[in-house]
Amino acid sequence: MTTTEPMPTEEITDEAFDFRAYANDPDRITEFSAFNDDVTTLIHAVEDNADAIFTWGYDKGERARLDKLYEKAKVSQWNGQTDLDWSIDVDPYKVLAPADPAEVAYFAENPESPLYKLNEKEWQDLGVESMNWSLSQFMHGEQGALLCTAKIVETVPWIDAKYYAATQVVDEARHVEVFAQYLDQKLDGIKYPVNTHLGSLLDDIITDSRWDMTYLGMQIMVEGLALAAFGFMQQTTEEPLLKKLLRYVMSDEARHVAFGVLSLQEVYQELTVAELRDRQEFAFEAALQMRDRFMRQEVWERMGVDVKDMVKFTLAMPDELRIFQKMLFSKIVPNCKKLGLLDAGDGWLRDRFTDIGVIEFENWVDTADEYADLDEVAKDRALAEG
Predicted confidence (pLDDT) per residue in 337-373, tens digit: 999 999 999 999 999 999 999 999 999 877 766 666 6
In a domain, 326, yes or no: yes
Per the structure, how many domains does the chain have?
Answer: 1
Helix (H, G, I), strand (E, B) or coil at 110: coil
Residue 9 counted as domain residue: no
* DSSP, res 317: S
pLDDT classification of 146: cutoffs 50, 70, 90:
very high
Radius of gyration of the chain (CA): 21
* Amino acid symbol at 215: Y
Q: Which residues neighbour 111 within 8 Å (Cβ) at sequence distance 6 or greater?
A: none
Task: Annotate 11-23 with b (16+ C-beta within 10 A) or e (fewer).
Answer: eeeeeeeebeebb
User: How many Cα atoms are found within 13 Å in the side-chain-facing hemisphere of 24?
Assistant: 14
Does residue 124 belong to any structural domain of this protein? yes
Structural domain contains residue 40: no
Mean pLDDT of 120-133: 92
Q: Span 136-164, mean pLDDT?
A: 97
Q: Is 81 a domain residue?
A: yes
Burial label, 320 (beta-carbon count in 10 A; 0-12, 13-18, 19+):
exposed
Domain range enclosing 90: 17-34+61-384
- For 54-107, write each residue's pLDDT tens digit: 999 999 999 999 999 999 999 999 999 999 999 999 998 877 766 678 888 999
CA–CA separation, 292 and 21 (whole Å): 14
Task: Indicate whether 375 belongs to any domain.
Answer: yes
Specify the pLDDT at position 324: 81
Model pTM score = 0.90
CB contact set of 378 (below 8 Å; sequence gap of 6+):
72, 75, 76, 251
> For residue 259, what is the domain's CATH number?
1.10.620.20
Q: Is residue 86 part of a domain?
A: yes
Look at residue 228 and tell me if it is in a domain: yes
Contact call for residues 349 and 336 (beta carbons, < 8 A): yes
Cβ contacts of residue 37 below 8 Å, gap of 6+? none
